[in-house]
Amino acid sequence: MTVRSAPLGGPGDLTSPPPLPGAGPAGAGSPWPAPAPGPARPVQVALRRWREGWWAATGLVLGLFTALLAVVVVVLGVAGLFSLPAVGTGILLLVPALWGGWLLSRLQHGMLLVFAGVEVGPPLPSRAPTWRRALGLDEPRLRSFGWAALHGLWGLLAGSVVLFLLVQGLTLLALPLVGLGAPDEGSRVLGLVVVSGPTGYALGSVVGLLTLLVVPWVGRGMTSVDIALARWLLGDDPQRQLREMSRRVATLTTSREETIDSVESERRRIERDLHDGPQQRLVAIAMNLGLARSTMDSDPEGARVLIDEAHASSKEAIVEMRQVARGIVPPILTDRGLDAAVSALAARSPIPVTVEAHLARRPDPTVEAIAYFCVSESLTNAAKHSGARHVGVRLDVVPAPRATG
Looking at the domain assignment, is residue 258 inside a domain? yes
Looking at the domain assignment, is residue 401 inside a domain? no
Give the closest residue to 357 by CA, choosing from 344, 269, 264, 257: 344
Contact assessment for residue 118 and residue 21, using Cβ atoms and an 8 Å cutoff: yes
Whether 283 and 257 map to the same domain: the answer is no
Quick one: pLDDT at residue 34? 52
Computed over every residue of the chain, the mean pLDDT equals: 76
- Using pLDDT thresholds of 50, 70 and 90, give the confidence band for residue 179: low
Domain boundary among 182, 217, 236: 236
Looking at the domain assignment, is residue 32 inside a domain? no
Whether 192 and 58 map to the same domain: the answer is yes
Quick one: pLDDT at residue 3? 43
Looking at the domain assignment, is residue 164 inside a domain? yes
Whether 46 and 124 map to the same domain: the answer is yes
Whether 134 and 72 map to the same domain: the answer is yes
Whether 202 and 253 map to the same domain: the answer is no
Phi-psi region of 191 (alpha: psi -120 to 50; beta: other; left: phi over 0): left
Of 14 and 94, the one with more pLDDT: 94
Percentage, residues of the chain above pLDDT 90: 1
Average pLDDT over residues 125-133: 76
Looking at the domain assignment, is residue 177 inside a domain? yes
How far from 250 is each of 247, 253, 261, 265, CA to CA, in Å? Answer: 5, 5, 17, 22
Radius of gyration (C-alpha) of the chain in whole angstroms? 39
Mind listing the pLDDT tens digit for each residue in 243-289?
A: 778 888 888 888 888 878 777 777 777 777 677 667 777 877 888 88
Domain boundary among 308, 328, 348: 328
Whether 188 and 79 map to the same domain: the answer is yes
Whether 95 and 213 map to the same domain: the answer is yes
Give the closest residue to 33 by CA, choosing from 51, 55, 52: 52
Mind listing the pLDDT tens digit for each residue in 61-100?
A: 888 998 999 899 888 888 888 887 776 677 888 888 888 8
For 175, residues 6+ apart whose C-beta sits below 8 A from its C-beta are 187, 189, 195, 200, 201, 204, 205, 208
Residue 400 predicted with pLDDT over 70: no
Long-range pairs for 340-344: beta carbons < 8 A, 24 or more residues apart: 341/368, 341/372, 342/372, 342/375, 342/393, 342/395
Give the closest residue to 213 by CA, choosing from 178, 159, 173, 176: 173
Whether 56 and 189 map to the same domain: the answer is yes
Looking at the domain assignment, is residue 354 inside a domain? no
Whether 254 and 229 map to the same domain: the answer is no
Whether 232 and 322 map to the same domain: the answer is no
User: What is the H or E stretch that residue 357 is in?
Assistant: strand 353-358
Whether 260 and 289 map to the same domain: the answer is no
Distance between CA atoms of residues 53 and 56, nearest Å: 5
Domain boundary among 328, 350, 368: 328
The DSSP letter of residue 24 is G
For 61, residues 6+ apart whose C-beta sits below 8 A from its C-beta are 159, 162, 163, 166
Distance between CA atoms of residues 90 and 80, nearest Å: 4
Looking at the domain assignment, is residue 396 inside a domain? no
| pTM, entire model | 0.47
How far from 338 is each of 246, 350, 392, CA to CA, in Å? Answer: 35, 20, 15
Contact assessment for residue 145 and residue 97, using Cβ atoms and an 8 Å cutoff: yes
Looking at the domain assignment, is residue 227 inside a domain? yes
Distance of CA 324 to the CA centre of its chain: 43
Distance between CA atoms of residues 112 and 115, nearest Å: 5
Containing structural domain, residue 249: 237-264
Residue 17 predicted with pLDDT over 50: no
Whether 300 and 241 map to the same domain: the answer is no
Edge-to-edge strands, sheet with 353-358: 2-5, 391-397, 353-358
How far from 68 is each of 49, 144, 157, 392, CA to CA, in Å? Answer: 29, 15, 11, 66
Task: Say how many domains are in the chain.
Answer: 3
Residue 150 predicted with pLDDT over 80: yes
Distance between CA atoms of residues 30 and 364, nearest Å: 42
